[in-house]
Amino acid sequence: MGTVGLVPSPKANSRHRGEIIKLIVHREARNRGHARALLATAEREASAAGLDLLMLDTETGSAAEHVYLTCGWTRFGSVPDYAGSPDGTLRECSFFYKRLTATA
């Protein structure tokens, strides 16, 4: 149905944060809340691991942007030609963060 990847930062000065590196839901399983459930699971696991700040990027204008915004993530910018699609076309990506605790 889907998968989500969470990676803690390997840098000494950023042990408090992690990154959602991939959130994918099979096209036949979309629009049923699976993305939100996977994202919530990753957020719980990150919190349990002591992380209090998560970051991610996604294609600008994608349905995923709406998911992240409605799940409490904050969009903080975009970069043109950041990632390539399977056919090699470069796409603009938006960047998001979410605090898992009230204060860092």
How confident is the model over 29-74, as pLDDT tens digits? Answer: 888 989 999 999 999 999 999 999 999 999 999 989 999 999 999 9
Mean pLDDT calculated for residue range 66-87: 95
Rg (CA), the chain: 14
Q: What is the percent of the chain where pLDDT is above 90?
A: 80
Separation of alpha carbons 34 and 14, rounded Å: 29
CB distance 73 to 56 below 8 Å: yes
- pLDDT of 75 above 70: yes
pTM of structure:
0.89
- Identify the pLDDT of residue 9: 93
